Amino acid sequence: MREARVGQVVLVTGVSRYLGGVLARRLAASPDVERVIGVDVIPPPRDLGEAEFIRADIRNPMIGKVIAQGDVDTVVHANVIATPTFAGGRTPQKEINVIGTMQLLAACQKSETVRRLVVKSTAAVYGSTPRDPAMFTEEMTAKRLPASGFGKDSIEVEGYVRGFARRRPDIDILTLRFANIIGPRIRTSITDYFNLPVIPVPLGHDARMQFVHEEDAISALLRGVTGGADGVVNVAGDGVLTVMQAAAIVRRPFVMVPMAAAGPIAQMGKRLGLVDFSADQMSFLAFGRGMDTTAMREVLGFSPTYSTRAAFEDFARTVSPVVPSLDAVTGAVGGVVGTAQQLVGRATKGVR
Amino acid sequence: MATKNTAAKSSTTKKATTKATAKKATPKKPTAKKPMTKATAKTATTKATAKKTAARKTTPKKAAPKPDATRRNAPAKKDPTGRPSSVAAGAARASGERARRRATPLLTAAVESAATSSAQATPPAPATSSTTSSTAATKAATAAVKAGAPGKTSATTTAPAGGRGAHRPRPNPRSEASSKATRQAGIRPQSPRAKRKADEAARRHLRVAPPPAPTPPAPDPTATQTDMALPVPGIEELLSASIAAMRMAAQGAGFSPEEVERRIAATLAFIRRRIEGDYSVDEFGYDEHFAENVIFPLLRPLYRKWFRVEVRGLENIPDEGGALIVSNHSGTIAIDSLMVAQAIHDEHPKHRVMRALGADLVFQTPFVGAFARRGGSTLATNADVDRLFAQGELVGVFPEGFKGVGKPFKERYKLQRFGRGGFVSAALKAGVPIIPTSVVGAEEIAPMIGNMKTVARLLGVPYAPITPTFPLLGPLGLIPLPSKWIIEFGAPIETASHGEGASEDPMLVFDLTDQVRETIQQTLYSLLMQRRSVFF
């Protein structure tokens, strides 16, 4: 075990997407890290700074050569894609997520140099059902395993990571389960959802949601790479927001949709290119999910700067009114109510 | 020259034609109407390429408030290719674009991507700043173009030579190189004054769309309020008139008008905070703002006037810290849990909120589940109970569950099995007192004389009751009968004295469960003896 972490060589997968790209840039700027190798199948659209970019497909055994040649000692797997549209469909998404992870872990297993693996996972592994506890701790498992989509991929990814941990017990493995990452710059299915002109909400449900700000997510990953924590850690901002509350904060009207009609509506949203939601995300919108973040503070030693609400408000600043009249309606109602309230208050004061 | 120009023209026909139509509208240059003549063709081509490059440059400036008329439609055309979105990346991956890219050398791709990224990174900055951050090769081209920029027509000819260096075998008929080189020429196609004049002229004639409306300010509640109050003239008068009318009505009805006004003000304040999302929800979904303003006020008439609940033993509930309220459960419609919560909230000196534990069926049901969570309920699991006790909350549990609520009327006030004693082990683990609670009167609100088991199975609910009124009167049958209720909170049973690890002792857990059950049963019997009649 090399204790001197001065010359860390970090391999980051998925640098062409927002989080991976920014992480690679920050890592390269960090004094603890000597060299950063960014890997993705498409060239990064953003500036990677000091980080080097190597075009390599993690679904291909070539990744082993990259690790060997670069003398990599820390691998950050940030290439588990949440939204099928961003990967070019469900099939490539699954391939990148599952086969990519398998190949990457196989390469790590063969490697002599790798000492540390950081996996960016998700809260979706906990699923979302009415039988869930209010807050999931790291040792809990899903009450009903997500049957499709990103959640299922993530569970498989974590399964492979556990298998890898068994085969290479000498490598420190840190799995970070992030709540929905949100912020002014990142684009996910949840940001698309709250960008809809009218937000469809499951009828009769008001799910609790947790968010983590994009800056906090990057800081947590940075801390995970340079720190010594291992195991599984939940990462989420403090507090919860409900779906309707969030809709109120982005100042969008919502429409109640029966859960039975949610499937066709999701399909329509996908066709129109508005939002891409899988079945497990629909149940998330109905039943919600919360994660306990004690381990985040105690094991990872990280505390987010943004609470769930602050993160969401930061995102909501960037949501422009798609249809100004709709925004005006909510504004008008608020305005009339405010005026009436002031008048009543004035009248009451006058009487007393 | 001529061949080159025609070739370039053919490659950029589309742009040229659009430009030509634009020109057609301007009265100053009627020559543009005849694009066949050599000179006009030449200018048109130059303009077209310049415009194309301008379009490329201005792509990041799409959000600029007033783009000039010539550039207005250009960014829209260029946008899908100019800004590689992640969707596009995905599509590229799927359509084999990746394979094609892999075949191309990496260096150029990196340079290109660096250029686009730098352009993207500074969207509001002027075009010149993005030029400075470009690569050296393009800088050279820029210099060359700037040198030849004043002579507009010569830009196309000098630029490629500057970009490629002196060694240039033959004039390239393709527009690729020339467009790249003349990209910089797009920065300043003419003098600012001439440009403004031309823009104005173009705007006068090319009235494609009205000028963009000023963007509304950021969602600031005060700002929108003034905005919205203005367009309706006399809204204040209208509202004050209606308020005066309400005062009159209140006086007529015999209420205090001040009280009515206070209520209205409170309601309006409530609505406003709900609209703006200005309330907080705890990790279990308890929405204090909603509970205090909707749930408790809504249930209060039912509690005071309908059931006339009499509460005993309130002193047994601690003022602070965790405690476990264990109560019987009855009445077909499970509103006894709501009434116990109401009793503690309204009558207890500290107005504590009881956090009831519910079955998963509750949280699965639309509206009921959301309502229950807002009222402070959560799922009956050990994890949640431990968490609530760690926060020092008052937890309410109804261990009979559906067995108690859905029992036939003839078995009234006979306690059913008390689950598996999970509530006792949770209390033991946290060392909080158990408060046995007995509710009398709830059994009679909807006497269950039959159970439609097939219907229940079809609907997936534990029971489908037949009461004297229910299927008979339809929804009216759901109105509970106005029985007189008594809620008694018994003496607390201490659990802290059993020490650490007591929750792991099943014998102790069963003993305590039986003790709690017996206490409640005995209290129920004695309360029934004291009660004068069901309804009074």
Supply the CATH number for residue A67's domain.
3.40.50.720
The tens digit of pLDDT for each residue in B92-117 reads 666 666 666 666 555 544 444 444 44
With CA atoms as reference, the chain A residue closest to B269 would be: A341
Out of B102, B225, B363, closest to residue A130 by CB = B363
For A340, which of B239, B383, B384 is closest by C-beta distance? B239
pLDDT of residue B161: 42
pLDDT lower than 70: segments of chain B: 1-191, 202-235
Which DSSP letter does residue B352 get?
A: -
- Write out chain A residues lying below 8 Å of B365, CB-based: 204
**A30 part of a folded domain:** yes
Closest-approach residue (CA) in chain A for B113:
A45
Q: Is A229 a member of any domain?
A: yes
Cβ–Cβ contact B256 with A under 8 A: no
The 8-class DSSP code of residue B204 comes to H
On whether residue A173 sits in a domain, the answer given is: yes
Interface pTM, i.e. ipTM: 0.87
> Quick check: is A110 in a domain?
yes
Tell me how far apart the alpha carbons of residues A338 and B62 are, in angstroms, rounded to a whole number. 36
Partner-chain contact B374 A352, CB within 8 Å: no
Interface test with A, best of B135, B263, B283, B368 (most A CBs within 10 A): B283
At residue B92, the pLDDT reads: 61
Which stretches of chain A are assigned E, i.e. beta strand? 8-13, 33-40, 52-55, 74-77, 116-122, 172-178, 180-182, 199-202, 208-209, 211-213, 231-235, 241-242, 254-257
Cβ distance of B370 and A206 shorter than 8 Å: yes
Q: How many domains is chain A built from?
A: 1
The helix, strand and coil proportions of chain A, stated in percent and rounded to the nearest 5, come to 45, 20, 35
Q: What pLDDT shows up at residue B529?
A: 93
Residue B341 CA to residue B344 CA, distance in Å, equals 5
pLDDT digits (tens, 9 = 90+) for B124-140: 444 444 444 444 444 44
With respect to residue A73, please indicate whether it lies within any of the assigned structural domains.
yes
Give me the CATH topology for the region B288-445+480-530: Glycerol-3-phosphate (1)-acyltransferase (3.40.1130)
Size of interface A-B (CB pairs under 8 A): 207
Per-residue confidence (pLDDT) for residue A345, from 0 to 100: 63
pLDDT of residue A340: 72
pLDDT in tens, B400-431: 988 888 899 999 999 998 888 889 999 999 99
pLDDT tens for chain A, 352 residues: list them: 444 445 789 999 999 999 999 999 999 998 889 999 999 988 998 888 889 999 988 888 889 999 999 899 999 999 888 887 777 888 888 999 999 999 999 999 999 999 999 999 999 999 999 999 999 999 999 988 888 788 899 999 999 999 999 999 999 999 999 999 999 999 888 998 898 888 888 899 999 999 999 999 999 999 999 888 999 999 999 999 999 999 999 888 888 888 888 778 878 877 887 777 777 788 899 999 999 999 999 999 999 999 999 999 999 998 876 555 555 666 666 677 777 767 666 655 544 4
**Is A303 part of any domain?**
yes
Residue A122 pairs in a beta bridge with A178
**Are A331 and B227 a contacting pair at CB < 8 A?**
yes
Burial class of residue B378, CB neighbours in 10 A (0-12, 13-18, 19+) = buried
Instruction: With H, G, I as helix, E, B as strand and everything else as coil, classify residue A234.
Output: strand
Give this prediction's pTM: 0.70
DSSP B302: I
Judging contacts by C-beta atoms under 8 Å, the chain B residues touching residue A87 are 90, 93
Q: What is the pLDDT of residue B160?
A: 44
Chain A residues touching residue B282 (CB < 8 angstroms): 240
The interface residues of chain A toward chain B in range 292-311, judged by CB-CB distance below 8 A, are: 309
DSSP single-letter state for residue B281? B
Q: Which residue of B87, B89, B276 is in closest CB contact with A248?
A: B276
Q: What does residue A177 show for φ and ψ, rounded to 5 degrees?
A: -100, 105
The parent domain of residue A108 ranges over 9-186+210-237+290-309
Does residue A252 form part of some domain? no
**Which among B525, B334, B520, B343 has a CA at the least distance from the CA of B437?**
B520
**B507 with B501: CB under 8 angstroms?**
no
Residue B375 contacts residue B286 (beta carbons within 8 Å): yes
